[in-house]
Structure 1
Amino acid sequence: MLREPTDGGDFGGAPSRSPLHGRSLLLIPRSLERSMAAQLDVAILPASMRLRLTGDMNALPRAVADAAASFRLEPSLADWLSADILELARLYRETTRAARLVVRIETIIDDACRLFHTDNVRFRLATTYRGPGTQWLDTADLSLLAEGATPTPDSIRRMDRGWIAVMRGGKAATPDVPALPHRSPPIAGSGATRLFVAIDEALAG
C-alpha cells in the first residue's frame, strides 16, 4: 500500500489543491513488501525490455496484467506487481487529473539516460522495483547545469528502491517552479538489472 507523503500531501477524495502545487518534486518514501522484493531480486528478467501501455483506468488493468505476465514471473509475484503498478497509476491520475495514461515498464542494464535532464511532459511518476533508483538534483542547481558544470557527488540525491517520485516536467514548469533535473543511475558494467516504471499523461492527437 502507498504511504502518504511525509510533508502532508493528501491523495484521498478530491483535494482542493493538488499536492504538486508549488513543487518540482513530490516524493513518497516507501518499502516494497519484503517477500516480493526478494523474489524480484532472483527473478531472471529479460534484458532491455521496454513495454509501453496507453489507456484509461478501465483499459489499463488488463494491459498491465498482460505486461507483467510477459516477464514470466511467478504468478503471485506477477499479480502483486500488476496491482502495485495500477495503484501507482491511480495515484498519478488523482494527483495530475490526467484522464488517459502512458505506462512504461522497462528493464535496464546500462546507463540509459545518464545525463541530468528534464522531461518534456507535465508530470512524470517514476519508481524502481529492482536495482538503484532515479537520481535527481535540487532545482537550485539548474543554473549550474545550464552553464555546463558537472554536479558534485554531494549534490546528487538518490531515490531508494520502491520510492515514488512525481516530477514536474517542462510543460508544467514556471519561473517559480521549474522542472526537476534527474537521470538514471549509472550501472553499466555492474551486472545490475533495473526494473523501472514511469507513468505520463497520454496526450491527445
Structure 2
Amino acid sequence: MTALAESLAITDQDCFSISDDPTVLTDIYRDEINIAVWQRQFDAATQDEITQFLNEHPSLSKSLNLSPENAYESLDFALDGKAPKALVENMAELVDMFCCLFELDHVGLRLATLSGAMCPRFHVDHVPCRLVTTYQGIATQWLANDTIDRSKLGRGSNGLPDEQSGLFQNASDIEQLTSGDVALLKGTRWEGNEETGLVHRSPNPTNNEPRLLLTLDFG
C-alpha cells in the first residue's frame, strides 16, 4: 500500500479508509467511502501452508453459497479436506464477518487460483458491495475518485489501454492492496453510490507467480 495507508483521518473528499484494525470495515457505511481496507498479515507458518496449497492446486475454482453456520464444514468438504485448517478457518471467519456487517443469511463465495488477470481493465462492479482478499500473489489495484475521468471507462476508452485512455493521468494514481489485506469495494448497486462505484482491476501476476483470490458477494 502507498502512503495513503499512513492517513487514517478521513475528509469529505476521500473515498478510502485504511487501518490494521478490522473495525475499519464498518466505515464502508460512510457515504464518502467506497473502499475500506483492513490491513493484515499471516504468520510465516500459515503463509507457508497457503503457498504449498496453492502450488498443489494450480487450477482451483470453487463457487459456493454459504451461511456462517455451515461455512467451515462446507469449505472443508469442497476442498476435499486438503486445505490448511488456518486457511479454512480464516475464510469461514470472513463469511461470518461479512454476514454480520450486512445482516445477511448467506453469501456467495468464490475461491480461485489465477495465473493471469481475471479483470485486467479498470472497471466498477455492479453489486452493492464485494469483499476481496488475496491470500497469495499480487493484489487488487484501484483508483481514488478524484484521480479519474469516469467517462473513459468501458466503451469510453475507445479501445485504448487504461494507461492511454485518459481514465487517469499518472501511474502514481494507481493504488494497490497488499496480499493479506481484506477490502470492501462498494459497487454501483449500493444505494446512493450508483455513479461512484470503486474503480479497480486485477493486475497481471509478476514473475509468473499465481494468485489465490477470495471474493464474497451478497447471497
| Same fold per superposition (TM over 0.5) | yes
Aligned pairs (5 A) from 1:30-179:
30-43=40-53, 44-69=55-80, 72-73=82-83, 78-144=84-150, 145-146=152-153, 148=157, 149-151=166-168, 152-172=170-190, 174=192, 178-179=196-197
Change (3 A) 1:174 1:141: farther
Q: Which runs of 4+ in 1 moved over 6 A?
A: none
CA distance in 2, matches of 1:80, 1:95: 22
Q: Is contact 1:53-1:60 (8 Å) kept?
A: no
Change (3 A) 1:194 1:8: closer
| Offset from partner CA, 1:120-157 (integer Å, 9 cap, x none) | 11110000111111111112234254453254321111
| TM-score normalised by structure 2 residue count | 0.75
Q: Which runs of 5+ in 2 are unaligned?
A: 1-17, 158-165
| Equivalent pairs, count | 187
Q: Is contact 2:111-2:214 (8 Å) kept?
A: yes
CA distance in 1, matches of 2:179, 2:21: 21
Q: Which runs of 5+ in 1 are unaligned?
A: 12-17
Name the SS of the counterpart of 1:54 in structure 2. Answer: strand
